[in-house]
């Protein structure tokens, strides 16, 4: 894994990322990483978005996780399709490694029955407590706990 100059561990896991939305004709480069959710039998992808305050889960994924209709804190979020009302809920997500260790994260995520724009890993409540690095030469995503 990645180490600092003094030999201390920096990241503990690595996975392949997709540098565009898998299967999409949307041409701009983005970083999609694999995440695991207990309610699902396999991984899904989520876009890294360090500019987003919160992580967001697509309504269908949130439904599978039984996160819709809970009593979390209601809040509005500005999205590319306008402001959407949803709730902040706590749940467990996994950032999956191909090599090294995966991470399990008890995080606050934003969910809404109205949100069908995909999954995002945002800064507050998730990425701010993770070390991360990318190597675009081979689409490697490196990550580890603080």
Partner 1 sequence: MPEPDVRPFVMAVRGLIETERITAARHMLAAAPAYILGDPLVARLRSVLAPPVVRRMQKRDVDRTQEFDWLRAHGREYRGRWVALVGSNVLASTATLRELLEQLRTTDVSKPPLLHRVD
Tell me how many residues contact partner 1 (CB under 8 A): 57
Residue 75 makes contact with partner 1 by CB under 8 A: yes
Measured between alpha carbons, how far is 25 from 45 in angstroms, rounded to an integer? 16
Residue 38 makes contact with partner 1 by CB under 8 A: no
143: its two tokens: 């990550």
Contact 125, 26 (CB under 8 A): no
Q: One symbol per residue from 83 to 112: x for binding partner 1 (CB under 8 A), - otherwise; what is it?
A: -----xxx---x-xxxx-xxxxxxxx----
Residue 56 makes contact with partner 1 by CB under 8 A: no
- Gap between the terminal Cα atoms of the chain: 14
Name the residue among 77, 69, 135 with its Cα closest to residue 110: 77
Residue 81 makes contact with partner 1 by CB under 8 A: no
55: its two tokens: 């992580």
Q: One symbol per residue from 111 to 140: x for binding partner 1 (CB under 8 A), - otherwise; what is it?
A: -------x----xxxx-xxx----------
Measured between alpha carbons, how far is 35 from 44 in angstroms, rounded to an integer? 6
Residues that bind partner 1 (CB under 8 A): 12-13, 15-16, 18, 20-26, 34, 36, 40-45, 53, 58, 60-61, 63-64, 72-73, 75-76, 88-90, 94, 96-99, 101-108, 118, 123-126, 128-130, 144-146
């Amino acid at each position: 894994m990645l180490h600092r100059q003094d030999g201390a561990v920096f990241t503990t896991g690595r996975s392949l990322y997709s540098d565009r939305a898998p299967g999409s004709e949307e041409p701009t480069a983005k970083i999609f990483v694999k995440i695991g959710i207990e309610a699902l039998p396999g991984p899904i992808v989520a876009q890294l978005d360090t500019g987003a305050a919160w992580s967001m889960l697509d309504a269908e994924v949130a439904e599978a996780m039984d996160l819709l209709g809970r009593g979390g804190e209601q809040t509005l979020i500005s999205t590319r399709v306008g402001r959407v009302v949803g709730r902040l809920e706590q749940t467990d997500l996994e950032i999956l490694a191909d090599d090294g260790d995966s991470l399990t994260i008890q995080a606050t995520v934003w969910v809404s029955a109205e949100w069908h724009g995909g999954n995002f890993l945002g800064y507050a409540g998730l990425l701010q407590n993770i070390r991360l690095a990318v190597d675009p030469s081979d689409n490697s995503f490196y990550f580890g706990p603080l």
